[in-house]
Amino acid sequence: MEPERARAAALAARLLASPALDGLTPLEKEEQVLLLLRSRPTEMARLLSGARCSPGLLHEELRRASDRELQPALEALVARDGTFSFAAGLQSTPVAGERCRQEMTSLVVRLLQSGRARAALSAPLAAAQRDFPGRYLPHCFEHRQYVHFELAKVERLRLGADETASLVRTALLLRAGIFLTDGMEPGGLGPRYAAEAQALLRAQLKSLPQAALRSAVMSHLPCQGNPLLPATARLIALFAAAARAGVAGPVRGALPAETSWWGVALRNASFHGLDESMLEEMRGIAARNGW
């Protein structure tokens, strides 16, 4: 390894190993280090000067280090839902599990090569890694309140809690797929555009159930003004937002971190385009479980 690259790699490893980043996913750690580099330019310039490496090379080595950690995590996430148990409840034809796993892994690897897609992947990937769907949805099914009604009666899913959690986790991994091409901009996303984005994703993911792609793409639409938004899409948006908020740490106060965040998000639901009734239910689940 070239001496300058070796120094950059050593500095990247030191920054990513900071105790302040404990508990974060590889992409979240990378984001926080890059934020530090941008927010403290004088200190970082002094650090880079001492390490005798360029900012560009440090950024490259940060990405390399994150990717090395991400690879086994990504393989584990895809393998966990790799049987696609939810597919039988969504379509009559069986899915080719191995082909689906290969297509999903290939898509995520492609997304990681783009700075914009990489940033968009961080929150949904963290939500899947922390298994928000697997933790919260069994409680929704047990109590059979708003979330269960929206899933079973409105979206008409014939799935149990585990299968629904698997579907949501799978769609979380696909959520950043709208950044697959340069012309795809979520700021202008609407129902028609969502259909076009879904068609583009379909070209890359020929084996996955259509419902998973639709929920992933439509999760970018705000709940307000979109009454036909699938419940799974609203859940994906909620869990991704929760993971994003978790990077900032717990909200000050006596309540546990997740309970606090759900309460803050509820007060700002319209601004974030989130489903208020779902937020209320999630806050109740978090509070009952001390999360």
What residues contact 215, with CB distance under 8 A and at least 6 apart?
Answer: 167, 168, 171, 230, 232, 233, 236
Q: How many CB atoms lie within 10 A of CB 167?
A: 29
pTM confidence score: 0.89
pLDDT in tens, 84-98: 888 888 887 777 778
Half-sphere exposure of 222 (CA within 13 A, CB side): 10
Residue 112 near residue 67 (C-beta atoms within 8 A): yes
Distance from C-alpha of 110 to C-alpha of 5, rounded to nearest angstrom:
24
**Closest CA relative to residue 53, chosen from 43, 64, 42, 45:** 45
pLDDT, position 252: 52
Residue 219 near residue 233 (C-beta atoms within 8 A): yes
DSSP state, residue 154: I
pLDDT, position 183: 56
Distance from C-alpha of 149 to C-alpha of 161, rounded to nearest angstrom:
13
pLDDT, position 247: 53
Consecutive sets of 10 residues in the chain, 291 residues long: mean pLDDT of each?
Answer: 81 91 92 88 74 80 93 88 82 80 90 90 94 97 97 95 95 91 58 80 86 92 90 96 72 70 88 94 94 90
pLDDT, position 152: 96
pLDDT in tens, 230-254: 999 999 999 999 888 875 555 555 5
Distance from C-alpha of 34 to C-alpha of 12, rounded to nearest angstrom:
10
**Closest CA relative to residue 152, chosen from 272, 132, 161:** 161
Distance from C-alpha of 34 to C-alpha of 31, rounded to nearest angstrom:
5
Total residues found in the chain within this entry: 291
